[in-house]
Amino acid sequence: MTDKTKRDKIVPCILAAVVHEGKILLIHRTKEPYLGHWAMTGGKIEFGEHIEETAIREVLEETGLKCKVESIKGIATEIVHNESEAEQHFIMFIVQLKPETTKLVESDEGKLQWYKFEELDKIKIVPSDLLMIKEFVLKNKPMKVHRIKVKRDKETYEVEEFV
């Protein structure tokens, strides 16, 4: 496998920590990796999307919840290995959201359930999700992330928006 082919397999995605009344929303995974485990909702960042936009879109698609972003909590990389090599590589942005609606609409992504934080050690949860919930969500330290939009005109580049 060439370096470019390997690089193309790196998946930038978000994990959404949807928190409401002291509970976090988890989804029971119906796909690999981590089939049969509980996990934070989330998904791949689409071309042209900022992290916050991906989080809002993915949560709406997977849960039916309209949410607002509270903060970006952290960034993690995860490489899933089989017996002999790395088979998946994720760059994950952990985003905390607050639901503006509470009626859950399950999708084919999996069953949804709210869990109290103290219950998480007792369920079959994705180990890295549990770690990220403990390190990023429960420690309650938001991370500063800038959204930058650059306008290019032939050979000139200009920052159009810096938030």
* CATH number, residue 124: 3.90.79.10
For 104-118, what is each residue's pLDDT tens digit?
998 888 999 999 999
Q: Which helix (H) or strand (E) holds 42?
A: strand 41-44
**Whole-angstrom Cα distance, residue 21 to residue 40?**
17
Q: CA torsion sign, 44 to 50 to 51 to 53?
A: negative
Confidence of residue 1 (pLDDT cuts 50, 70, 90): low
Whole-number average pLDDT of the chain: 91
What single DSSP character describes residue 135? Answer: I
Q: What is the pLDDT of residue 162?
A: 77
Q: Which of 115, 87, 125 is nearest to 10 (CA)?
A: 87
Range of the domain at 113: 3-162
The domain tally of the chain equals 1
Q: Which of 30, 41, 5 is nearest to 129 (CA)?
A: 41
Q: What is the pLDDT of residue 149?
A: 78
